[in-house]
Each structure stands twice: as C-alpha cells, then as structure tokens.
A and B are shown apart, each in its own frame.
Chain A
C-alpha cells in the first residue's frame, strides 16, 4: 500500500449569518483539493456558502476523561445563571 492522503476535517457555513459547522472529514492530497472534494461530498444540494478545511492531525481535542475536572468550575457556579436570582414580580421583566 502506498502512502495515504491526509485526512481533513470539513466545516461548512450553511448560509451567511450562521457559523461554520463540522460536517465530517475526507481525504485529499492538499488543502485546495480538500475544498474541491468537500464541495462534491458535502454540498451537493446547496448546503453551504463557505467551506473551511483543517488537517485532522492539526486539531487538538480535549480528552473525555477530563470531563469532570475540566468542566467542574461551570457546574459549581450556579450564580452564573440568571435564574439564580429571585426578582420580585412587581419589578417587571428583567
């Protein structure tokens, strides 16, 4: 088997005003070809107006075992949510 084309992760903006969203991955020899292939694989029915490609090997991801420690601070600080505070009804919408 000869050397495999690198894997690219594909992100597509479905319409202006929306963020790019991860759609999947594909193999391509370089970034330009990855964009052309992404058009054929992921936008055959006008699903996108803009494509980003990133080499899968260049993406650093958090590890699932970090789930507890990494997100703990957000779980223990309930006062960050507006519903933590009781505002009397007579004050009106806030």
Chain B
C-alpha cells in the first residue's frame, strides 16, 4: 500500500451511545453505502485521517517517480524509454489526482508539499530502495505496482467521493504499469544467462520490501478499526498481503524465477500460500529515515521544490500583470 501506518483518532471506534446525533447520522450514511462529499458534515477525525492517508498516498506517487526516473536515460531501447516516460508521467498524474482529492478537505497542495519536505508527512517505505539494474524497473512494475493495485482496487469503494473517484482513475491506468513491468521481467527471465541473473537479483531485493508495503499486521490496531468503520480502509493489511502473495507466486513460477523464501509453500488446508514475514525492524528503520535512499529522495524533492520557486512566482506575477492590463483596457 502507498499509505502505511496511517494514524486515525487513536481512540477506537465509538459505540452508538458515545456518538453525538451528527456522528450517528454520519455513521448511518457510511453503513448504508452512501458517499460523503466535500461540503457534507463529517467528524473532525474522519477529515484528519483522510488528509493524512490521501496525502501520504499522493506523496508516494510523486516520490515514486524518482527510482524509475533513474532509468529513463538508460532504458535499453527507444520504445522502452518512451513507455517508461509515459509510466512516470502517469505517476505524476496520480499524485495530482490525489492532491486534488485532499484539497477538497480544506488543505492546500503547497501545505502538503511543505509537510512532506519538513518530514512531518511520510511516503511509502518502498521508494527508499534503489533501482540498480534495468530488471529492477520490471520488478517495480510487477511487484510494487502489483502490491499497490491490491490496495487501490478495494479503495475505489471508499466512502469519500473525491478519493473514490481518484482511485477509479488511478486503477484504470495502474494495470498498464503492472503489465509493462511483467513484460520487462518476461524478456529478462527468458533472455541471456546474465539477464536472467539480473531478473532473479531484482526479485531477491524487491520481494520483502514489496511485502512491507502493506504495513505490519493491523488486526489489533485501533487506528485501522476506526478507518475500516469509516470505510476509508477496506481490508486488513494481512488480507491484502496474502492476496498479493497468492497472486504473485504463480506468476514468479511462470517466469522461472525463485521467490527468496524457503518457507514458501502452498497450504492445502487454507488454499493459500504460506510465506515468511519480512523483517519488520528493517521496515521501521526505513520509515524512520534510515533506508538506503531516504536522504537522496528527500534531497531530490527539496531541490525540485526550491529550484521551481522562481518559476512558480514568475508565472503568477506574469498572470497577475496581464490580468491587470486586461482590466485597465
């Protein structure tokens, strides 16, 4: 998931007796499958949790351009380069759809950007890993976008209208991303011995970080319970992770690649693949800023923001000057 460990009110789900009449009416609407729109009354906690979640997702889309952008100039063919450019442009678009959804809740995009740059807001842990070979671009599309889709598809049904609409647009485009990644993996896995080794190496490095994307188990989390009651989270992290493993293992077999997990086995009783948990201490270290690329990613975002300031200011000054001139005529 592109939003990890999003905090809700932290107070747990209120019982009906504890709810004010407005809160009870609001919860009834959610339970009935009604969509909440920007000007509707909503609990402050709902608004604040959504802002955190949507913004973290938006930041992830934007920061997610960096590991892939690393390979635009080095793509193996002109066609691959054009495809990767289109994909990275989509990620920028996805970030913008999401910022636009967050802005309907009463924050501005610039405020959210400043919150990312100050470290107050986070982006997904996955983008703090480097893309070392061309096969990594395949693995990112296949595994990382594949994991993101697991979470984004159910979120199309989320209770908040603008978020749901953004998710619908994103999901339409996301399957192109996953397929282009798998296409790269097929080429590499069926290529020369050196290419196959690169493909396997990419899977080895991206498997566990992809599992971490869903976040640690949240079956006992008060934050997740509240978010699920509000339908801004639809499935638990474990449910989505299992679904991802079940979907991905046969695809890896098709590619002739090995998932780096000796405990991986199909469980006849449950009908699911049993797998090893990722190293959660690594996950917390990456979230804290100690992943391989945290500093590089934040530095790139900060440079882009600071270096773009004169452009933002200049274009606005020009637009205002022209508006005055037209008004004077």
Q: List residues of A whose CB falls within 8 A of some B CB.
A: 1-5, 7, 24-27, 29-30, 33, 40-41, 44-45, 61, 63-64
Contact = CB atoms under 8 A, between A and B. Distances in A.
Contacts of A33: 315, 319
A29 B37 contact: no
Contacts, number: 55
Nearest to B93: A41
A61 B37 CA distance: 12
B77 to A, nearest CB: 22
A45 B96 CA distance: 16
B267 to A, nearest CB: 40
B114 A1 contact: yes
Contacts of A45: 173
Given A29-B316, A30-B323, A64-B41, 6 more contacts: A5-B312, A7-B103, A24-B165, A30-B319, A44-B93, A64-B40
B276 interface: no
Given A44-B90, A64-B41, A24 B100 contact: yes
B318 interface: yes
Interface string B152-184: 000000000010011000000100000000000
A45 B97 CA distance: 15
B103 to A, nearest CB: 7
Given A2-B313, A64-B37, A26 B110 contact: no
Contacts of B316: 3, 5, 29
A64 B39 CA distance: 6
Contact of B96 (A30, A41, A64): A41
Contacts of A2: 309, 312-313
Contact of B39 (A7, A27, A61): A61
Contacts of A29: 312, 315-316, 318-319
A3 B309 CA distance: 10
Contacts of A44: 86, 89-90, 93, 173
Nearest to B40: A64
B175 to A, nearest CB: 12
Interface string B107-145: 011110010000000000000000000000000000000
B219 interface: no
A50 B309 CA distance: 31
A29 to B, nearest CB: 4
